[in-house]
Amino acid sequence: MKILVVGSGGREHALCWKIAQSPMSDELYCAPGNGGIAQHATCVPIKAEDIEALGDFAEQNRIDLTVVGPERPLIAGIADHFRSRGLTIYGPSAAAARLEGSKAFANEVVERAGVPGKRFDVFDDPADARDYVRDRGAPIVVKADGDAAGKGVTVAETVDDALEAIDRCMVEKAFGSAGERVVIEEFLEGQECSIKVFTDGETVVPMVPSQDYKRIYDGDEGPNTGGMGCYSPVPVVTPKVLKWAIDQVLQPTVRQMAADGTPYTGTLYAGMILTDDGPRLLEYNCRFGDPETQVVVPRLEGDLVELLLATVEGRLHEVEASWRDERAVCVVCASSGYPLTYETGKEISGLGEVAGLEDVMVFHAGTKRVGRRYFTDGGRVLGVTALGSTYEQATDRAYKATGQIYFEGMYFRTDIAERAAGCD
Protein backbone atom coordinates (compact mmCIF):
# COMPACT_ATOMS: atom_id res chain seq x y z
CA MET A 1 0.00 0.00 0.00
CA LYS A 2 0.97 3.62 -0.55
CA ILE A 3 0.12 5.67 2.55
CA LEU A 4 0.14 9.44 3.10
CA VAL A 5 0.20 11.01 6.58
CA VAL A 6 -0.83 14.67 6.77
CA GLY A 7 0.88 16.86 9.38
CA SER A 8 4.27 17.87 10.74
CA GLY A 9 4.37 17.33 14.50
CA GLY A 10 5.22 14.74 17.12
CA ARG A 11 1.83 13.09 16.64
CA GLU A 12 2.56 12.57 12.94
CA HIS A 13 6.06 11.27 13.70
CA ALA A 14 4.57 8.68 16.06
CA LEU A 15 2.00 7.67 13.44
CA CYS A 16 4.65 7.38 10.72
CA TRP A 17 6.94 5.40 13.05
CA LYS A 18 4.16 2.88 13.70
CA ILE A 19 2.78 2.76 10.15
CA ALA A 20 6.28 2.12 8.78
CA GLN A 21 6.36 -1.10 10.83
CA SER A 22 3.27 -2.46 9.07
CA PRO A 23 3.77 -5.20 6.46
CA MET A 24 0.96 -3.47 4.55
CA SER A 25 2.99 -0.27 4.14
CA ASP A 26 5.06 -0.36 0.96
CA GLU A 27 5.55 3.38 0.43
CA LEU A 28 5.02 6.02 3.11
CA TYR A 29 4.79 9.77 2.57
CA CYS A 30 4.21 12.66 4.98
CA ALA A 31 3.10 16.18 4.08
CA PRO A 32 4.83 18.34 5.06
CA GLY A 33 6.63 16.21 7.68
CA ASN A 34 9.70 17.28 9.64
CA GLY A 35 13.34 16.37 10.18
CA GLY A 36 12.60 13.29 12.26
CA ILE A 37 9.71 12.01 10.17
CA ALA A 38 12.12 11.85 7.21
CA GLN A 39 13.68 8.81 8.91
CA HIS A 40 10.51 6.81 8.16
CA ALA A 41 8.72 8.54 5.29
CA THR A 42 9.32 10.63 2.20
CA CYS A 43 8.47 14.19 3.19
CA VAL A 44 6.42 16.16 0.68
CA PRO A 45 6.52 20.00 0.85
CA ILE A 46 2.74 20.52 0.94
CA LYS A 47 1.15 22.28 3.91
CA ALA A 48 -1.46 20.38 5.91
CA GLU A 49 -4.08 23.06 5.16
CA ASP A 50 -3.53 22.95 1.37
CA ILE A 51 -6.34 20.49 0.75
CA GLU A 52 -6.45 20.85 -3.03
CA ALA A 53 -2.71 20.21 -3.43
CA LEU A 54 -2.85 17.24 -1.06
CA GLY A 55 -5.69 15.76 -3.09
CA ASP A 56 -3.71 16.28 -6.30
CA PHE A 57 -0.68 14.55 -4.78
CA ALA A 58 -2.73 11.61 -3.53
CA GLU A 59 -4.41 11.20 -6.90
CA GLN A 60 -1.26 11.53 -8.99
CA ASN A 61 0.72 9.16 -6.76
CA ARG A 62 -2.12 6.65 -6.38
CA ILE A 63 -2.16 6.85 -2.60
CA ASP A 64 -4.21 3.99 -1.13
CA LEU A 65 -4.80 5.54 2.31
CA THR A 66 -4.41 9.05 3.71
CA VAL A 67 -4.24 9.55 7.48
CA VAL A 68 -4.86 13.08 8.82
CA GLY A 69 -3.11 14.16 12.00
CA PRO A 70 -4.10 17.80 12.74
CA GLU A 71 -7.60 19.09 13.35
CA ARG A 72 -7.57 22.11 11.04
CA PRO A 73 -7.63 20.23 7.71
CA LEU A 74 -10.38 17.98 9.11
CA ILE A 75 -12.48 20.94 10.22
CA ALA A 76 -11.87 22.54 6.82
CA GLY A 77 -13.22 19.47 5.01
CA ILE A 78 -10.21 17.50 3.76
CA ALA A 79 -12.06 14.19 4.26
CA ASP A 80 -15.01 15.39 2.16
CA HIS A 81 -12.67 16.65 -0.58
CA PHE A 82 -10.74 13.39 -0.78
CA ARG A 83 -13.87 11.25 -0.80
CA SER A 84 -15.37 13.38 -3.57
CA ARG A 85 -12.32 12.42 -5.64
CA GLY A 86 -12.63 8.72 -4.83
CA LEU A 87 -9.67 8.77 -2.44
CA THR A 88 -9.60 6.74 0.79
CA ILE A 89 -8.97 8.86 3.88
CA TYR A 90 -9.00 8.31 7.65
CA GLY A 91 -10.81 11.11 9.48
CA PRO A 92 -14.25 12.64 10.02
CA SER A 93 -16.19 14.80 7.60
CA ALA A 94 -16.29 18.56 8.14
CA ALA A 95 -19.81 18.22 9.53
CA ALA A 96 -18.68 15.61 12.07
CA ALA A 97 -15.45 17.47 12.89
CA ARG A 98 -17.59 20.29 14.30
CA LEU A 99 -17.40 18.29 17.53
CA GLU A 100 -14.01 19.98 17.86
CA GLY A 101 -14.51 22.94 15.54
CA SER A 102 -17.40 24.38 17.56
CA LYS A 103 -17.64 24.03 21.32
CA ALA A 104 -21.28 25.14 21.14
CA PHE A 105 -22.13 22.45 18.57
CA ALA A 106 -20.41 19.77 20.65
CA ASN A 107 -22.24 20.78 23.83
CA GLU A 108 -25.57 20.68 21.99
CA VAL A 109 -24.87 17.21 20.56
CA VAL A 110 -23.90 15.68 23.90
CA GLU A 111 -26.89 17.31 25.56
CA ARG A 112 -29.20 15.62 23.02
CA ALA A 113 -27.31 12.36 23.50
CA GLY A 114 -27.85 12.48 27.28
CA VAL A 115 -24.13 12.53 28.00
CA PRO A 116 -23.16 13.81 31.48
CA GLY A 117 -21.45 17.08 30.65
CA LYS A 118 -21.39 20.52 32.23
CA ARG A 119 -23.60 23.59 32.38
CA PHE A 120 -22.82 26.03 29.60
CA ASP A 121 -24.03 29.12 27.77
CA VAL A 122 -23.03 30.53 24.39
CA PHE A 123 -22.49 34.23 23.65
CA ASP A 124 -22.08 36.26 20.46
CA ASP A 125 -22.01 39.60 22.27
CA PRO A 126 -19.15 40.44 24.68
CA ALA A 127 -21.38 42.63 26.86
CA ASP A 128 -23.78 39.74 27.45
CA ALA A 129 -20.86 37.42 28.21
CA ARG A 130 -19.46 39.88 30.74
CA ASP A 131 -22.84 40.25 32.46
CA TYR A 132 -23.17 36.46 32.68
CA VAL A 133 -19.74 36.11 34.30
CA ARG A 134 -20.44 38.88 36.82
CA ASP A 135 -23.68 37.13 37.72
CA ARG A 136 -22.21 33.61 37.97
CA GLY A 137 -18.89 34.44 39.60
CA ALA A 138 -15.67 32.47 39.49
CA PRO A 139 -13.96 30.09 39.05
CA ILE A 140 -15.44 29.69 35.59
CA VAL A 141 -14.24 28.52 32.17
CA VAL A 142 -14.16 30.71 29.05
CA LYS A 143 -13.63 29.01 25.67
CA ALA A 144 -13.28 30.36 22.17
CA ASP A 145 -16.02 28.53 20.29
CA GLY A 146 -13.89 27.72 17.24
CA ASP A 147 -10.57 25.99 16.72
CA ALA A 148 -7.84 27.95 18.51
CA ALA A 149 -5.12 25.28 18.31
CA GLY A 150 -5.68 24.25 21.94
CA LYS A 151 -4.97 27.74 23.28
CA GLY A 152 -8.46 29.25 23.40
CA VAL A 153 -9.43 27.93 26.84
CA THR A 154 -9.12 30.00 30.02
CA VAL A 155 -9.80 28.54 33.46
CA ALA A 156 -10.54 31.85 35.17
CA GLU A 157 -9.86 31.89 38.91
CA THR A 158 -11.41 35.34 39.29
CA VAL A 159 -14.13 37.36 37.58
CA ASP A 160 -11.49 39.78 36.30
CA ASP A 161 -9.61 36.88 34.70
CA ALA A 162 -12.80 35.78 32.96
CA LEU A 163 -13.55 39.30 31.73
CA GLU A 164 -10.03 39.55 30.33
CA ALA A 165 -10.48 36.19 28.55
CA ILE A 166 -13.75 37.39 26.99
CA ASP A 167 -12.08 40.57 25.74
CA ARG A 168 -9.10 38.62 24.42
CA CYS A 169 -11.39 36.38 22.39
CA MET A 170 -14.15 38.72 21.29
CA VAL A 171 -12.66 42.22 21.29
CA GLU A 172 -8.93 41.80 20.70
CA LYS A 173 -9.56 38.86 18.30
CA ALA A 174 -6.52 37.00 19.67
CA PHE A 175 -7.82 33.80 18.06
CA GLY A 176 -9.28 35.35 14.94
CA SER A 177 -12.71 34.13 13.89
CA ALA A 178 -12.46 31.25 16.40
CA GLY A 179 -13.17 33.73 19.20
CA GLU A 180 -16.09 35.60 17.66
CA ARG A 181 -18.35 33.44 19.82
CA VAL A 182 -17.49 32.20 23.30
CA VAL A 183 -18.77 29.31 25.36
CA ILE A 184 -18.81 29.86 29.12
CA GLU A 185 -18.93 26.73 31.23
CA GLU A 186 -19.08 25.76 34.87
CA PHE A 187 -15.74 24.97 36.45
CA LEU A 188 -15.22 21.30 37.31
CA GLU A 189 -12.48 20.08 39.62
CA GLY A 190 -10.66 16.77 39.41
CA GLN A 191 -8.03 14.86 37.46
CA GLU A 192 -8.30 15.14 33.70
CA CYS A 193 -7.68 12.30 31.26
CA SER A 194 -7.96 11.59 27.56
CA ILE A 195 -9.99 8.66 26.29
CA LYS A 196 -9.72 8.04 22.55
CA VAL A 197 -11.44 5.52 20.32
CA PHE A 198 -11.42 4.31 16.75
CA THR A 199 -14.95 4.47 15.36
CA ASP A 200 -16.46 3.70 11.96
CA GLY A 201 -19.69 5.49 12.83
CA GLU A 202 -21.16 2.51 14.63
CA THR A 203 -18.55 0.33 16.34
CA VAL A 204 -16.28 1.88 18.97
CA VAL A 205 -12.84 0.38 19.70
CA PRO A 206 -11.12 2.00 22.71
CA MET A 207 -7.50 3.04 22.85
CA VAL A 208 -5.62 3.08 26.14
CA PRO A 209 -6.26 6.21 28.26
CA SER A 210 -3.63 8.88 28.78
CA GLN A 211 -3.14 12.04 30.82
CA ASP A 212 -1.34 15.10 29.51
CA TYR A 213 0.14 18.24 31.05
CA LYS A 214 -1.06 21.46 29.42
CA ARG A 215 0.59 24.14 31.59
CA ILE A 216 4.11 25.21 30.73
CA TYR A 217 5.63 25.00 34.23
CA ASP A 218 5.96 22.32 36.91
CA GLY A 219 3.04 22.07 39.28
CA ASP A 220 0.61 23.06 36.51
CA GLU A 221 1.60 26.70 36.63
CA GLY A 222 1.76 29.23 33.80
CA PRO A 223 -0.07 29.49 30.48
CA ASN A 224 -1.60 26.61 28.55
CA THR A 225 0.45 24.99 25.81
CA GLY A 226 -0.22 22.32 23.23
CA GLY A 227 1.01 19.82 25.83
CA MET A 228 4.30 19.47 27.74
CA GLY A 229 4.17 15.73 28.32
CA CYS A 230 1.90 12.81 29.09
CA TYR A 231 1.75 9.24 30.32
CA SER A 232 -0.29 6.07 29.88
CA PRO A 233 -2.06 4.21 31.42
CA VAL A 234 -3.75 6.47 34.00
CA PRO A 235 -4.21 4.90 37.46
CA VAL A 236 -7.42 6.81 38.21
CA VAL A 237 -8.98 5.53 34.97
CA THR A 238 -9.85 2.08 36.24
CA PRO A 239 -11.41 -0.52 33.93
CA LYS A 240 -14.77 0.45 35.47
CA VAL A 241 -14.25 4.15 34.68
CA LEU A 242 -13.11 3.35 31.13
CA LYS A 243 -16.16 1.15 30.50
CA TRP A 244 -18.42 3.89 31.87
CA ALA A 245 -16.84 6.45 29.55
CA ILE A 246 -17.32 4.22 26.52
CA ASP A 247 -20.87 3.19 27.40
CA GLN A 248 -22.17 6.53 28.71
CA VAL A 249 -20.16 9.12 26.74
CA LEU A 250 -18.48 7.99 23.53
CA GLN A 251 -20.94 5.36 22.28
CA PRO A 252 -24.02 7.59 22.85
CA THR A 253 -22.28 10.45 21.04
CA VAL A 254 -21.46 8.23 18.06
CA ARG A 255 -25.08 7.05 17.95
CA GLN A 256 -26.37 10.63 18.17
CA MET A 257 -24.08 11.81 15.37
CA ALA A 258 -25.37 8.99 13.15
CA ALA A 259 -28.97 9.80 14.06
CA ASP A 260 -28.34 13.46 13.18
CA GLY A 261 -27.15 12.47 9.70
CA THR A 262 -23.50 13.32 10.40
CA PRO A 263 -21.90 9.93 11.13
CA TYR A 264 -18.51 10.19 12.80
CA THR A 265 -15.61 8.09 11.51
CA GLY A 266 -11.97 8.22 12.57
CA THR A 267 -10.49 9.00 15.97
CA LEU A 268 -12.85 10.49 18.53
CA TYR A 269 -11.05 11.96 21.52
CA ALA A 270 -12.93 12.66 24.74
CA GLY A 271 -11.32 14.97 27.26
CA MET A 272 -12.74 13.81 30.60
CA ILE A 273 -12.52 15.04 34.18
CA LEU A 274 -12.95 12.74 37.14
CA THR A 275 -14.89 14.77 39.69
CA ASP A 276 -16.07 13.77 43.16
CA ASP A 277 -19.52 13.31 41.61
CA GLY A 278 -18.20 10.98 38.90
CA PRO A 279 -16.65 11.35 35.43
CA ARG A 280 -17.79 14.23 33.25
CA LEU A 281 -17.04 15.13 29.64
CA LEU A 282 -15.03 18.32 29.16
CA GLU A 283 -14.68 18.45 25.38
CA TYR A 284 -14.26 16.47 22.20
CA ASN A 285 -11.41 16.50 19.71
CA CYS A 286 -11.69 15.06 16.23
CA ARG A 287 -8.20 13.55 15.88
CA PHE A 288 -5.31 11.77 17.54
CA GLY A 289 -4.03 13.86 20.44
CA ASP A 290 -0.61 15.48 20.57
CA PRO A 291 1.45 14.56 22.57
CA GLU A 292 -0.92 11.77 23.71
CA THR A 293 -0.33 9.79 20.49
CA GLN A 294 3.33 9.54 21.54
CA VAL A 295 2.41 7.34 24.53
CA VAL A 296 -0.66 5.59 23.07
CA VAL A 297 0.77 4.36 19.75
CA PRO A 298 3.94 2.82 21.29
CA ARG A 299 1.68 0.69 23.49
CA LEU A 300 -0.29 -0.67 20.53
CA GLU A 301 0.47 -4.26 19.67
CA GLY A 302 -0.06 -5.39 16.12
CA ASP A 303 -0.77 -3.42 12.99
CA LEU A 304 -2.04 0.17 13.14
CA VAL A 305 -2.77 0.16 9.42
CA GLU A 306 -5.19 -2.74 9.87
CA LEU A 307 -7.15 -0.70 12.42
CA LEU A 308 -7.16 2.41 10.23
CA LEU A 309 -8.41 0.47 7.20
CA ALA A 310 -11.09 -1.32 9.21
CA THR A 311 -12.30 2.10 10.39
CA VAL A 312 -12.58 3.68 6.94
CA GLU A 313 -14.11 0.52 5.46
CA GLY A 314 -16.81 0.26 8.15
CA ARG A 315 -15.72 -3.12 9.53
CA LEU A 316 -14.27 -2.30 12.93
CA HIS A 317 -16.45 -5.05 14.38
CA GLU A 318 -14.10 -7.53 12.68
CA VAL A 319 -10.90 -6.42 14.44
CA GLU A 320 -9.55 -5.95 17.94
CA ALA A 321 -6.90 -3.65 19.36
CA SER A 322 -4.47 -5.14 21.85
CA TRP A 323 -2.14 -3.12 24.04
CA ARG A 324 1.19 -3.68 25.74
CA ASP A 325 1.20 -3.80 29.53
CA GLU A 326 4.17 -1.45 29.82
CA ARG A 327 3.82 2.10 31.10
CA ALA A 328 4.71 4.91 28.68
CA VAL A 329 5.95 8.40 29.61
CA CYS A 330 6.59 11.28 27.21
CA VAL A 331 8.57 14.41 28.11
CA VAL A 332 8.28 17.34 25.69
CA CYS A 333 11.38 19.45 25.04
CA ALA A 334 10.37 23.00 24.11
CA SER A 335 12.06 26.16 22.92
CA SER A 336 12.70 28.88 25.49
CA GLY A 337 9.78 31.33 25.49
CA TYR A 338 7.19 28.83 24.24
CA PRO A 339 4.15 29.15 24.14
CA LEU A 340 4.76 32.86 23.48
CA THR A 341 7.77 34.19 21.54
CA TYR A 342 10.65 31.83 20.87
CA GLU A 343 13.63 31.47 18.55
CA THR A 344 14.29 28.65 16.09
CA GLY A 345 17.37 27.42 14.25
CA LYS A 346 19.17 26.08 17.34
CA GLU A 347 21.26 22.97 16.65
CA ILE A 348 20.18 19.83 18.51
CA SER A 349 22.79 17.47 19.92
CA GLY A 350 22.58 14.07 21.60
CA LEU A 351 20.03 12.43 19.31
CA GLY A 352 22.50 9.80 18.15
CA GLU A 353 23.32 8.74 21.70
CA VAL A 354 19.66 8.52 22.69
CA ALA A 355 18.83 6.41 19.62
CA GLY A 356 20.61 3.45 21.22
CA LEU A 357 18.75 3.50 24.54
CA GLU A 358 16.43 0.63 25.40
CA ASP A 359 12.68 1.27 24.95
CA VAL A 360 13.20 4.95 24.16
CA MET A 361 11.73 6.77 21.15
CA VAL A 362 12.33 10.40 20.25
CA PHE A 363 9.47 11.88 18.24
CA HIS A 364 10.27 15.11 16.42
CA ALA A 365 7.67 17.88 16.70
CA GLY A 366 9.41 21.03 15.46
CA THR A 367 12.70 20.18 13.75
CA LYS A 368 14.38 20.50 10.39
CA ARG A 369 17.26 18.44 9.05
CA VAL A 370 20.22 19.92 7.21
CA GLY A 371 22.50 17.16 6.01
CA ARG A 372 23.00 14.99 9.08
CA ARG A 373 22.34 17.80 11.56
CA TYR A 374 19.03 18.69 13.21
CA PHE A 375 17.83 22.17 14.17
CA THR A 376 14.85 23.50 16.13
CA ASP A 377 11.96 24.67 13.98
CA GLY A 378 9.07 25.18 16.39
CA GLY A 379 7.91 25.77 19.95
CA ARG A 380 7.55 22.14 20.88
CA VAL A 381 10.69 20.53 19.47
CA LEU A 382 10.88 16.90 20.62
CA GLY A 383 8.84 14.35 22.53
CA VAL A 384 11.01 11.85 24.40
CA THR A 385 8.97 8.71 25.05
CA ALA A 386 10.05 5.72 27.13
CA LEU A 387 8.44 2.42 28.04
CA GLY A 388 8.94 0.54 31.28
CA SER A 389 7.42 -2.20 33.39
CA THR A 390 6.62 0.41 36.07
CA TYR A 391 5.89 4.13 36.01
CA GLU A 392 9.17 4.71 37.83
CA GLN A 393 11.16 2.80 35.23
CA ALA A 394 9.46 4.51 32.28
CA THR A 395 9.89 7.95 33.88
CA ASP A 396 13.56 7.34 34.70
CA ARG A 397 14.23 6.21 31.15
CA ALA A 398 12.45 9.23 29.67
CA TYR A 399 14.35 11.73 31.82
CA LYS A 400 17.68 9.95 31.35
CA ALA A 401 17.23 10.28 27.60
CA THR A 402 16.07 13.88 27.86
CA GLY A 403 19.19 14.69 29.85
CA GLN A 404 21.38 13.57 26.95
CA ILE A 405 19.71 15.95 24.48
CA TYR A 406 20.65 19.60 24.23
CA PHE A 407 19.81 22.70 22.26
CA GLU A 408 20.17 26.30 23.33
CA GLY A 409 17.20 27.38 25.46
CA MET A 410 15.81 23.84 25.80
CA TYR A 411 13.06 23.65 28.44
CA PHE A 412 11.06 20.71 29.82
CA ARG A 413 8.88 20.01 32.81
CA THR A 414 10.41 17.82 35.50
CA ASP A 415 7.18 16.45 37.00
CA ILE A 416 5.66 14.41 34.18
CA ALA A 417 3.91 11.26 35.51
CA GLU A 418 4.47 12.24 39.17
CA ARG A 419 0.74 11.68 39.79
CA ALA A 420 1.25 8.01 38.89
CA ALA A 421 4.25 7.47 41.16
CA GLY A 422 3.79 4.44 43.40
CA CYS A 423 0.65 3.27 41.62
CA ASP A 424 2.11 0.08 40.12
Instruction: With CA atoms as reference, report the closest residue to 73 among 51, 102, 101.
Output: 51
> pLDDT tens digit string along 344-392?
999 999 999 999 899 999 999 999 999 999 999 999 999 999 999 999 9
CATH T-level assignment (fold) for domain 191-323: D-amino Acid Aminotransferase; Chain A, domain 1 (3.30.470)
Instruction: Answer whether residue 150 shows pLDDT above 70.
Output: no
Confidence at residue 147, expressed as pLDDT on a 0 to 100 scale: 81
Confidence at residue 344, expressed as pLDDT on a 0 to 100 scale: 97
For residues 202-213, give the mean pLDDT: 97
**Confidence class for position 57, pLDDT limits 50, 70, 90:** very high
Instruction: Answer whether residue 117 shows pLDDT above 90.
Output: no
In sequence order, the β-bridge partners of residue 212 are 230
Domain boundaries, the chain: 2-93, 125-180, 191-323, 327-420
HEC profile of the chain? CEEEEEECCHHHHHHHHHHCCCCCCCEEEEEECCCCHHHCCEECCCCCCCHHHHHHHHHHCCCCEEEECCHHHHHHCHHHHHHHCCCCEECCCHHHHHHHHCHHHHHHHHHHHCCCCCCEEEECCHHHHHHHHHHHCCCEEEEECCCCCCCCEEEECCHHHHHHHHHHHHHCCCCHHHHCCEEEEECCCCEEEEEEEEECCCCEEECCCEEECCEEECCCEEEECCCCEEEECCCCCCHHHHHHHHHHHHHHHHHHHHHCCCCCCEEEEEEEEEECCEEEEEEEECCCCCCCHHHHHHHEECCHHHHHHHHHCCCHHHCCCEECCCEEEEEEEECCCCCCCCCCCCEEECHHHHCCCCCEEEEECCEEEECCEEEECCCEEEEEEEEECCHHHHHHHHHHHHHCCECCCCECCCCCCHHHCCCC
Q: What order of strands is seen across the sheet that includes strand 191-199?
A: 204-206, 191-199, 266-275, 278-285
Q: What order of strands is seen across the sheet that includes strand 229-232?
A: 211-212, 229-232, 327-334, 380-388, 360-364
For domain 327-420, is the CATH number 3.90.600.10? yes
Q: Domain 125-180: give its CATH code.
A: 3.30.1490.20
**Is 0.95 surpassed by the pTM of this model?**
no
CATH topology agreement for domains 125-180 and 327-420: no
Helix axes 10-19, 304-312, angle to 10 degrees: 100
Instruction: Answer whether residue 202 shows pLDDT above 90.
Output: yes
> pLDDT tens digit string along 301-340?
999 999 999 999 999 999 999 999 999 999 999 999 999 9
**Confidence class for position 277, pLDDT limits 50, 70, 90:** confident
For residues 16-29, give the mean pLDDT: 98
CATH T-level assignment (fold) for domain 2-93: Rossmann fold (3.40.50)
